[in-house]
Chain A
Amino acid sequence: MAADTSQSVAKAAGADAGENSGAARGPSRATANGNPRPGRGLGRALATHWYAWAMVAPVVLVLGVIIGWPLVRGVYLSLTDANERNVSRTIGVRHIEATYEFVGLDNYTAVLGDPVFWQRLVWTVLWTVACVSITFVLGLALATMLNRQFRGRAAYRMALILPWAVPGFVSVFAWRFLFNRDNGILNKVLDGGGISAVPWLDDPTWAKFSVIAVNVWLGVPFMMVALLGGLQSIPGELYEAAEMDGARPWQRFRHITLPGLRAVSMTVILLSTIWTFNMFPVIFLLTRGGPGDSTEILVTQAFREAFIASPRDFAGSATWGVLILALLMIFALVYRRSLRKQGEVW
Chain B
Amino acid sequence: MRRGIAATALVATLALAATACGGDTKGDGGDTKAGGELSGTVTWWDTSNDAEKASFQKIAEAFTAKHPKVTVKYVNVPYGDAQNKVKNAFSSGSEAPDVIRADVGWVADFASLGYLDEVPADTAKKVDAEFLSQAAASGKYEGKTYAVPQVIDTLGLFYNKKMLADAGVQPPKTLEELKTAAAAIKAKTGKTGLYLRGDDSYWFLPFIYGEGGDLVDAKSKTVTVDNAAGVKAFKAARDLVTSGAAVTNATDGWTNMQTAFKSGEVAMMINGPWAVADSYAGDQFKDKANLGVAPVPAGSAKAGAPQGGHDLAVYAGSKNTAAAHAFVEYMTSQEVQVQSAKELSLLPTRTAAYEQPDVKASEMVQFFKPAVDKAVERAWIPENGSLFEPLKVEYTKAVTGASSPEDAAKAAGVEFRKILKGWK
Contacts and interface: CB of A to CB of B under 8 A. Distances in A.
B93 A292 contact: no
A288 B80 CA distance: 12
Interface stretch (B137-145, B249-257, B301-309, B366-374): B249-257
B10 A61 contact: yes
A292 B393 contact: yes
A65 B402 contact: no
Contacts of B418: 309
Given A91-B90, A91-B316, A92-B318, A294 B114 contact: no
Classify the interface of chain B: helix, strand, loop or mixed. helix
B393 A290 contact: yes
B351 interface: no
B419 A309 contact: yes
B383 interface: yes
B109 interface: yes
Interface of A: 61-62, 64-65, 69, 84-85, 89-94, 96, 176, 180-183, 201-204, 207, 287-294, 304, 307-312
A291 B251 contact: yes
B260 A61 contact: no
A92 B319 contact: yes
30 contacts: A61-B3, A61-B6, A65-B11, A84-B87, A84-B91, A85-B112, A89-B93, A91-B115, A92-B317, A94-B316, A176-B251, A181-B256, A182-B249, A183-B259, A201-B251, A207-B250, A287-B250, A291-B199, A291-B251, A291-B400, A292-B250, A292-B397, A292-B403, A304-B389, A308-B389, A309-B383, A309-B418, A310-B109, A310-B383, A310-B386
A310 B316 CA distance: 19
Given A94-B316, A202-B250, A309 B386 contact: yes
Contacts of B315: 91-92
Interface string B256-278: 10011000010000000000000
Contacts of A201: 249-252
A292 B385 contact: no
A24 to B, nearest CB: 14
B291 to A, nearest CB: 21
Contact of A180 (B199, B256, B419): B256
A304 B317 CA distance: 27
Given A92-B316, A289-B393, 5 more contacts: A65-B7, A65-B14, A92-B315, A202-B250, A291-B402
A291 B251 CA distance: 7
B311 interface: no
A176 B256 CA distance: 12
A293 B400 CA distance: 12
Contacts of A310: 109, 382-383, 385-386, 419
Contacts of B10: 61-62, 65
Contacts of A294: 402
Contacts of A288: 251
Contacts of B397: 291-293
A89 B90 CA distance: 9
Contacts of A309: 383, 386, 389, 418-419
Contacts of A180: 251-252, 255-256
B396 interface: yes
A323 B115 CA distance: 32
B18 interface: no
A92 B394 CA distance: 39
B129 interface: no
A308 B396 contact: no
B84 interface: yes
B75 interface: no
B307 to A, nearest CB: 20
Nearest to A291: B250
Contacts of B259: 182-183
B358 to A, nearest CB: 36
B251 A90 contact: no
Contacts of A84: 87, 91, 113
Given A84-B91, A182-B249, A308 B256 contact: no
Contacts of B249: 181-182, 201-202
B84 A91 contact: no
Nearest to A308: B389
Contacts of B87: 84, 312
